[in-house]
């Protein structure tokens, strides 16, 4: 594996609040051509997000479905294919929105 000259950096997500089980786009740079992984830390536990797209300037992920009762602070880190880790990015993780049917 080639070591890339640029450190991976994580800038932002396409939303300040993300939902359990939802899709999120993370913007950054230096993420490299080889998919790595996206780690999410929540309440002292670590989870791995499912990757749906990996680009040098961003990653599209699906968050794990977690049984949250309230919104919680989550921290995301991108680990590049060569093992280099990005800076952490904090976001609010909200419970899944239940579908409401009108009767």
Predicted pLDDT at 99: 47
Between 52 and 98, where is the model more confident? 52
Homologous superfamily of domain range 9-94:
Immunoglobulins (2.60.40.10)
Q: Which residue has the tokens 């680009």?
A: 55
pLDDT beyond 80 at 74:
yes
Convert the pLDDT of each residue in 20-69 to its tens digit. 999 999 999 999 999 999 999 999 999 999 999 999 999 999 999 999 99
User: Taking residues 60-85, what's their average pLDDT?
Assistant: 94
Query: d(Cα 74, Cα 29) in Å, to the nearest integer?
Result: 21
Q: What is the pTM of this model?
A: 0.86
pLDDT beyond 60 at 102:
no
Question: What's the whole-number average pLDDT of the chain?
Answer: 90
């Amino acid at each position: 594996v080639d070591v890339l000259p640029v450190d991976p950096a994580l800038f932002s997500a396409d939303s300040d609040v993300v939902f359990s089980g939802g899709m999120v786009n993370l913007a950054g740079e230096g993420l490299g051509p080889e998919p790595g992984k996206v780690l999410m830390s929540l309440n002292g536990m670590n989870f791995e997000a499912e990757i749906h797209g990996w680009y040098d300037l961003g990653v599209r992920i699906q968050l794990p479905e977690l049984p949250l009762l309230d919104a919680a602070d989550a921290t995301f880190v991108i680990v590049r294919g060569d093992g280099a880790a990005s800076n952490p990015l904090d976001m609010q993780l909200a419970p899944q929105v239940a579908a409401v049917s009108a009767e």
